[in-house]
């Protein structure tokens, strides 16, 4: 499958080799790399993309959830164009910023006040900093398999270049083990930072009992609960927190919220966010030249107008139906293959065991995952090399049918390998 990929994609290969002269690995986003070289994407429209060799794909990656609206959504394109015509770097407070902040707070009730950043990574760095200042404590509990951004990645325990906070790394969905960590570290914990579903880490839903325990134990130990909803806020009109009825102290956002423009945000309880109010003595600094850039603010306002509660629910119902359908095909074939996720986010795993933690994700069969990836590309289905898919609004029945029949033919063709 890999050899066929190389033969089919000479332009992507040549482009990759030439890009390697200026960038390590030929790109500026490590997550996009895979052997032997990634496809060079030339353009997109709706839920389709075309690569440098002219092949058309259905875009089931959806920019790791940031592409929720599909490519060139007319309302978002119009909003960006309208902003451009009024000057793009205004050197001051602006109206779009205030309106967009109001819309974000209205959508997620636990955000009494919000601040914008340029990425989800920055949002998480600032949320952690807020917790450390507010509590006067230093330790932060995170979970194996979680991804909170560049410099904040905990798959396999952590990376040598992670920000040097005093991390305590627990096991996702392990109630008893995590309670033991609260017993050991509780009085020193500034915060628990958790994705309500591991996103990039394999679409592993946080079980309600686990997340409720985190809320209860952070309350009793005086630590802040930070929900990283950079990805999961798309799963319900008020984010996964709204769906679960859990109110975190701080929340971080990113990805799709600004319609695909670069974006991040952190927000939450008024007295915590007021630490950033420059009218207060000793206020915390939070700058960032592009935090209120009008292209992002304008696109974000349009994006949240498009994404009504009804539209959000419909997108996630479509995702649930697709995941259950694909998973049923795997079960019917008695294959060591399954799909996890919630709503519009799903990930394929090559295992027959339940997937509840980062270690469960890592235990899947890597060779089968690679085979699946290259075969799906040959079927015109584009998604993340790690197996993740995220639906966008233009994806309809036709696209879901195409994916299901590609999965079906994979299951038939490799029946023996998948037992």
115 belongs to the binding site for ligand PMP (CB under 6 A): no
Question: Collapsing DSSP states into helix, strand and coil, what is residue 127?
Answer: helix
CB nearer to ligand PMP: pick between 70 and 145: 145
283 Cβ contact list (under 8 Å, min separation 6): 275, 276, 277
CA distance from start to end of the chain: 20
195 belongs to the binding site for ligand PMP (CB under 6 A): yes
Binding mask 52-71 for ligand PMP (x = CB under 6 A): ------------x-------
351-390: contacts with ligand PMP (CB under 6 A)? none
CB nearer to ligand PMP: pick between 15 and 238: 238
341 belongs to the binding site for ligand PMP (CB under 6 A): no
Nearest to 217 by CA among 178, 249, 172, 247: 178
CB nearer to ligand PMP: pick between 38 and 186: 38
Among the residue ranges 226-234, 288-296, 306-314, 351-359, the one whose residues contact ligand PMP (CB under 6 A): 226-234
239 belongs to the binding site for ligand PMP (CB under 6 A): no
26 belongs to the binding site for ligand PMP (CB under 6 A): no
Single residue of 120, 145, 242, 343 touching ligand PMP by CB under 6 A: 120
183 Cβ contact list (under 8 Å, min separation 6): none
Supply the residues annotated as catalytic: 147, 228, 255
Single residue of 119, 274, 336, 351 touching ligand PMP by CB under 6 A: 119
121 belongs to the binding site for ligand PMP (CB under 6 A): yes
Q: How far is CA 198 from the centre of its chain?
A: 9
Where on the phi/psi map is residue 26: left (φ > 0), alpha (ψ -120 to 50), or beta?
A: left
CB nearer to ligand PMP: pick between 126 and 400: 126
Distance CA 4, CA 343 (A): 33
200 belongs to the binding site for ligand PMP (CB under 6 A): yes
Decide if 59 contacts 17 (C-beta within 8 A): no
CA atoms within 13 A on the CB side of 304: 23
CB nearer to ligand PMP: pick between 197 and 294: 197
Distance CA 393, CA 307 (A): 9
Tell the smallest beta-carbon distance from residue 287 to ligand PMP (Å): 17
Nearest to 202 by CA among 386, 14, 410, 331: 386
* Residues making contact with ligand PMP (CB under 6 A): 64, 119-121, 124, 147-150, 195, 199-200, 228, 230-231, 254, 264
């Amino acid at each position: 499958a890999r050899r066929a990929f190389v033969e089919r994609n000479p332009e992507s290969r040549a482009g990759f080799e030439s890009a390697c002269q200026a960038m390590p690995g030929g790109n500026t986003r490590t997550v996009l790399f895979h052997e032997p070289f990634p496809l060079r994407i030339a353009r997109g429209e709706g839920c389709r993309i075309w690569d440098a060799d002219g092949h058309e794909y259905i875009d089931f990656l959806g920019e790791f959830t940031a592409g929720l609206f599909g490519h060139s959504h007319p309302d978002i394109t119009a909003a960006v164009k309208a902003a451009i015509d009024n000057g793009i770097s205004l050197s001051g407070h602006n109206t779009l910023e205030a309106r967009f902040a109001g819309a974000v707070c209205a959508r997620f009730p636990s955000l009494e006040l919000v601040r914008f950043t340029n990425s989800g990574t920055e949002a998480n760095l600032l949320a952690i900093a807020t917790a450390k200042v507010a509590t006067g404590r230093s330790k932060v509990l995170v979970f194996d398999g979680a991804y909170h951004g560049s410099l904040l990645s905990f798959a396999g325990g952590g990376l040598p270049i992670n920000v040097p906070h005093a991390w305590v790394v627990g096991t996702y969905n392990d109630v008893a083990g995590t309670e033991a960590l609260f017993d050991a570290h509780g009085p020193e914990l500034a915060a628990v930072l958790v994705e309500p579903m591991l996103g990039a880490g394999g679409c592993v839903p946080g079980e309600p009992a686990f997340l409720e325990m985190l809320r209860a134990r952070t309350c009793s130990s005086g630590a802040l609960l930070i929900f990283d909803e950079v990805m999961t806020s798309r799963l319900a009109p008020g984010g996964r927190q709204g769906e679960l009825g859990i109110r975190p102290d701080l929340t971080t956002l990113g990805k799709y919220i600004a319609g695909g423009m670069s974006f991040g945000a952190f927000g939450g309880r008024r007295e915590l966010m007021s630490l950033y109010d420059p009218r207060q003595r000793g206020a915390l600094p939070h700058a960032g030249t592009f935090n209120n850039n009008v292209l992002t603010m304008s696109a974000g306002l349009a994006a949240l107008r498009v994404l009504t509660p009804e539209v959000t629910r419909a997108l996630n119902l479509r995702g649930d139906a697709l995941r259950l359908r694909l998973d049923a095909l795997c079960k019917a074939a008695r294959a060591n293959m399954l799909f996890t996720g919630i709503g519009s986010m799903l990930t394929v795993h090559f295992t027959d065991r339940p997937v509840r933690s980062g270690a469960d994700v890592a235990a899947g069969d890597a060779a089968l995952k690679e085979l699946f990836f290259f075969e799906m590309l040959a079927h015109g289905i584009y998604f993340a090399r790690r197996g993740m898919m995220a639906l966008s609004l233009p994806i309809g029945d036709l696209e879901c049918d195409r994916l299901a029949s590609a999965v079906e033919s994979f299951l038939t063709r490799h029946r023996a390998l998948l037992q």
